[in-house]
């Protein structure tokens, strides 16, 4: 609707513009014949002025309507991209860099918008105007028109050749821009490390090199644009030359009037603009098409975790988890990360999971949280194959504390309440107490309203981990998974927190991955993992007795902490047995 109105206004502008040479023709013919009157001249001048005013108003109208339309189109596309990104899985984000995605959603989106707005406007305008101008010219004298348009096919051929190159080079420019964006992003994200390793000069040099390449690519692109534009002007002027020569002879011979020739040349001028615009439009369109292709490439990426048609939505999950012969290999990995793994987790129980680094603990946690696809029949929640359930029903049942804490540049309260933005301060404070961090929060300058800086730079490692635990607890989901979430907390605190959590969770299912075994001592079951399999299971006492690996790390850790002055946590653990 909007766009139709815009184009209607655009058509009117062109028609009005085309009418002006007719008035000029009458005036000049009048002057030549000596029949012109002063009143007639003033009337013609007034008419031209009125038409010019109409052109100005209509121009504003179509710009407003069509450009507004292109902005809406841009917004729709942006929303679609964003929604698409939100649904993508880990494999996708392993493949695509953030800088790449950022470049697509800024730079490329802008170029699509430009081609749908100005590009489309100029294109329709140019096509309409040239056809109309040629028709008007033909009405005056078709032979002269044929002569005038003769050089134009050359332009069409040249444009075709250049357009393809433009596409290739612009693509390169955009890809380079994406690389620069990613480089800037990752540099800023790791600025502490860069400064600590005094790599500023090296980073700057790399950035400079990328910038230079970008400029070179852009210059190569400019060469094409620079060829197209002046060349259109050259062709237009050739037409003018031909018209002056042949049209002049026709006028001298009295075949056409001087007014006809003047109008003809005025039309030719009107035609010059569309021809010049052609180069520009082709440029815009090629850019827009290239960018759209890049964006479509992103939108076409499918997540590996597809819900089957008719997936069941579980509204209340009890929290029973059964893993049956689950094997999992990362894309392009040589060996499987999980190997025919068997596991059972019951509601109301706490299970510890220990194992050497790289044995697959985090992988298991991520599969339980449905980050990666699993084969049919290998992962059951409440007795149902997760591949028959909606993604949401499983994800909504699991509260995961990932091994790497993610915090937002916001207040402490907002970070804890991330999964439940409407939670009140009481609820937030009570989970902070369970995570044994509320004292430290209250001691901060603004308490729960303290801003923690980007990714929590103002917090200690242990504080960050405990915030992440509090955040997961606040979700009150039936299944809690803590992936090594207390590694930066001292043993005594870790033990206290696990104790609090067990109490807080009551009937829920809890899986705690840890590298330290002492705090897991009162878990109901402890699983020992090696090479992607569960190799032993039992309670603390039993594993100490019969699992050499487990007993070994326990002795090592307890021994080490005794030597370093003993600690209550360990002492308590010993007494408990």
Ligand X SMILES: Nc1ncnc2c1ncn2[C@@H]1O[C@H](COP(=O)(O)OP(=O)(O)OP(=O)(O)O)[C@@H](O)[C@H]1O
Strands 479-483 and 338-345: unpaired
DSSP 447: G
The residue within the footprint of ligand X, chosen from 35, 37, 357, 564 (CB under 6 A), is: 357
Considering only the stretches 79-87, 156-164, 351-359, 488-496, report the one whose residues sit in contact with ligand X under the rule CB under 6 A.
351-359
Which among ligand X, Mg ion, none contacts residue 337 (Cβ within 5 to 8 A by kind)?
Answer: ligand X
Toward ligand X, which CB reaches closer, 199 or 329?
329
Among residues 356 and 384, whose Cβ is nearest to ligand X?
A: 356
Q: How far is the CB of 498 from Mg ion (least distance, A)?
A: 18
Contacts of 196 by beta carbon, 8 Å cutoff, 6+ apart: none
Cα–Cα dist 151/136, whole Å: 19
Q: Does 372 bind ligand X (CB under 6 A)?
A: no
CA 172 → CA 96, 101, 182, 286, distances in Å?
17, 16, 15, 13
Nearest to ligand X of 471, 516 (CB atom): 516
In the bound state with ligand X, the residue whose beta carbon lies nearer, of 87 and 358, is 358
Candidate list 45, 87, 94, 566; residue touching ligand X; CB under 6 A: 94
Q: Which one, 218 or 362, has the nearer CB to Mg ion? A: 362
Handedness of CA 303, 304, 309, 313 (dihedral sign): negative
Binding mask 535-564 for ligand X (x = CB under 6 A): ------------------------------
Q: Which is nearer to Mg ion, 403 or 531 (CB)?
A: 403
Find the part of the chain contacting ligand X (CB under 6 A) among 78-86, 149-157, 350-358, 391-399: 350-358
User: For ligand X, what does the binding mask look like between residues 460 and 499, x meaning CB under 6 A?
Assistant: ------------------------x---------------
Q: Which two tokens stand for residue 33?
A: 């014949």
Pick from 17, 145, 363, 525 the residue near ligand X by CB under 6 A.
363
Q: Which is nearer to ligand X, 403 or 500 (CB)?
A: 403
Asked if 326 and 378 count as a contact pair (C-beta separation under 8 A), the reply is: yes
Only one of the segments 48-56, 353-361, 433-441, 543-551 lies at the binding site for ligand X (rule: CB under 6 A); that segment is: 353-361
- 475 with 419: CB under 8 angstroms? yes
Stretch that binds ligand X, among 3-11, 33-41, 153-161, 359-367 (CB under 6 A): 359-367
Contact of residue 359 among Mg ion, ligand X, none (CB under 5-8 Å per partner type): ligand X
Give CA–CA dist 16/41, Å, rounded.
19
The C-alpha torsion from 407 through 411 and 417 to 420, rounded to 10°, is: -100
Span between the terminal Cα atoms of the chain, in Å: 78
Distance CA(486)–CA(516), nearest Å, equals 9
Of 297, 275, 188, 181, nearest to 230 (Cα)? 275
DSSP E strands in 139-267: the ranges are: none
Q: Site size for ligand X, by CB under 6 A?
A: 14
Q: Is 117 helix (H, G, I), strand (E, B) or coil?
A: helix
Q: Judge whether 126 and 14 are in contact, CB under 8 Å.
A: no
Select the binding partner of residue 363 from Mg ion, ligand X, none (C-beta < 5 to 8 A, by kind).
ligand X
Stretch that binds ligand X, among 60-68, 81-89, 357-365, 422-430 (CB under 6 A): 357-365
Query: Binding string to ligand X for residues 413 to 432, with x set by CB under 6 A, is what?
Result: --------------------
State yes or no: residue 361 binds ligand X (CB under 6 A): yes
Sites for ligand X among residues 316-335 (CB under 6 A): 330, 333
| 360 binding ligand X? (CB under 6 A) | yes
Please choose which of Mg ion, ligand X, none residue 289 contacts, taking the beta carbon within 5 to 8 angstroms, the exact cut-off set by kind: none
Give 275 or 374: the residue with its C-beta nearer to ligand X.
Answer: 374
Cβ-based neighbours of 77, under 8 Å, separated by 6 or more: 109, 112, 295
Q: What DSSP string runs through 373-394?
A: ---TTSEEETTEEGGGB-HHHH
Return the number of the residue (480 or 513) whose C-beta is nearest ligand X: 513
> What is the rounded CA–CA span in Å between residue 47 and residue 524?
94
Which entry of Mg ion, ligand X, none binds 94, CB below 5 to 8 A by partner kind? Answer: ligand X
Burial class (CB in 10 A: 0-12, 13-18, 19+), 514: buried
**Strands 338-345 and 321-328, sheet pairing:** antiparallel
Counts of helices then strands in the chain (DSSP H, E): 22, 10
State the nearest-atom distance from the C-beta of 402 to Mg ion, in Å. 9
Q: Could you tell which of Mg ion, ligand X, none binds residue 333, using a CB distance below 5 to 8 A set by kind?
A: ligand X
| 404 is an interface residue for ligand X by CB under 6 A | no
| Of positions 77, 359, 398, 553, contacts ligand X by CB under 6 A | 359
337 lines the binding site for ligand X (CB under 6 A): yes
| Pair 341, 534: CB distance under 8 Å | yes
Residues 466, 489: Cα–Cα separation, whole Å: 8
Residue 358 binding: pick among ligand X, Mg ion, none (C-beta 5-8 Å cut-off by kind):
ligand X
Site string for ligand X, 503-542 (x = CB under 6 A): ----------------------------------------
How far is Cα 468 from Cα 480, in angstroms, rounded to an integer?
A: 12
Contact 56, 64 (CB under 8 A): no
Distance, CA of 65 to CA of 402 (rounded, Å): 49
Which residue is at the shortest CB distance from Mg ion?
Answer: 362
Q: Select from Mg ion, ligand X, none the partner in contact with residue 18, using the beta carbon and a kind-dependent cut-off of 5 to 8 Å.
A: none
373, 302 Cβ separation under 8 angstroms: no
Residue 559 beta carbon to ligand X: minimum distance, rounded to whole angstroms: 21
Distance CA 105, CA 181 (A): 12
DSSP annotation of 343 reads E
Q: Which of 105, 227, 396, 403 binds ligand X (CB under 6 A)?
A: 403
Give the residue with the Cβ less far from Mg ion, 216 or 404: 404
Binding residues for Mg ion (CB under 5 A): 361-362, 403
Q: Which residues bind ligand X (CB under 6 A)?
A: 94, 330, 333, 337, 355, 357-363, 403, 484
């Amino acid at each position: 609707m909007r766009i139709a109105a815009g184009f209607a206004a655009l058509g009117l502008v062109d028609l009005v513009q085309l009418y002006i040479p007719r008035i000029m023709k009458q005036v000049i013919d009048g002057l030549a014949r000596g029949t012109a009157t002063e009143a007639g001249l003033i009337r013609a001048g007034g008419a031209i002025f009125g038409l010019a005013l109409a052109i100005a108003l209509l121009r504003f109208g179509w710009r407003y309507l069509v450009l507004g339309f292109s902005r809406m189109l841009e917004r729709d596309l942006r929303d679609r991209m964003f929604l698409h990104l939100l649904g993508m899985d880990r494999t996708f984000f392993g493949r695509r860099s953030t800088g790449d995605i950022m470049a697509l959603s800024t730079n490329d989106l802008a170029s699509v918008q430009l081609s749908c707005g100005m590009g489309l406007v100029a294109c329709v305008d140019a096509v309409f105007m040239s056809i109309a101008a040629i028709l008007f010219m033909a009405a005056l004298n078709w032979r002269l028109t044929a002569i005038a348009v003769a050089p134009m096919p050359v332009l069409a051929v040249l444009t075709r050749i250049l357009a393809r190159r433009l596409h290739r080079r612009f693509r390169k420019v955009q890809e380079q821009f994406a690389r620069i964006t990613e480089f800037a992003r990752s540099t800023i994200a790791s600025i502490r490390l860069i400064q600590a390793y005094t790599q500023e000069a090296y980073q700057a040099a790399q950035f400079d090199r990328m910038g230079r390449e970008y400029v070179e690519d852009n210059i190569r692109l400019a060469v094409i644009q620079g060829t197209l534009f002046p060349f259109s002007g050259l062709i237009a002027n050739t037409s003018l030359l031909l018209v002056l020569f042949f049209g002049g002879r026709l006028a001298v011979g009295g075949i056409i009037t001087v007014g006809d020739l003047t109008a003809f040349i005025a039309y030719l001028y009107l035609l010059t603009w569309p021809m010049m615009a052609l180069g520009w439009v082709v440029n815009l369109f090629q850019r827009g098409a290239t960018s759209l292709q890049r964006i479509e490439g992103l939108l076409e990426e499918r997540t590996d975790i597809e819900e089957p048609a008719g997936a069941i939505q579980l509204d209340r999950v009890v929290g029973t988890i059964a893993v049956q012969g689950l094997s999992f290999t990362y894309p392009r990995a040589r060996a499987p990360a999980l190997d025919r793994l068997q596991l059972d987790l019951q509601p109301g129980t706490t299970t510890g999971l220990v194992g050497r680094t790289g044995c697959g603990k985090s992988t298991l946690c991520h599969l339980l949280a449905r980050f990666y696809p699993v084969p049919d029949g290998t992962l059951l929640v409440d007795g149902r194959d997760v591949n028959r359930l909606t993604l949401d029903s499983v994800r909504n049942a699991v509260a995961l504390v990932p091994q790497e804490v993610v915090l937002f540049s916001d207040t402490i309260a907002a970070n804890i309440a991330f999964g439940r933005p409407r939670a009140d301060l009481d609820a937030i404070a009570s989970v902070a107490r369970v995570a044994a961090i509320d004292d430290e929060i209250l001691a901060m300058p603004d308490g729960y309203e303290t801003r923690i800086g980007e990714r929590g730079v103002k917090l200690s490692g242990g504080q960050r981990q405990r915030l992440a635990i509090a955040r997961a607890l606040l979700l009150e989901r039936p299944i809690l998974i803590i992936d090594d979430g207390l590694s930066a907390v001292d043993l005594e605190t870790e033990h206290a927190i696990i104790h609090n959590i067990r109490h807080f969770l009551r009937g829920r299912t809890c899986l705690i991955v840890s590298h330290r075994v002492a705090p897991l001592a009162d878990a109901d079951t402890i699983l020992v993992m090696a090479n992607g399999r569960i190799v032993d299971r039992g309670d603390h006492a039993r594993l100490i007795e019969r699992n050499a690996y487990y007993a070994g790390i326990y002795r090592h850790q307890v021994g080490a902490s005794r030597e370093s002055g003993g600690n209550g946590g360990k002492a308590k653990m010993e007494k408990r047995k």
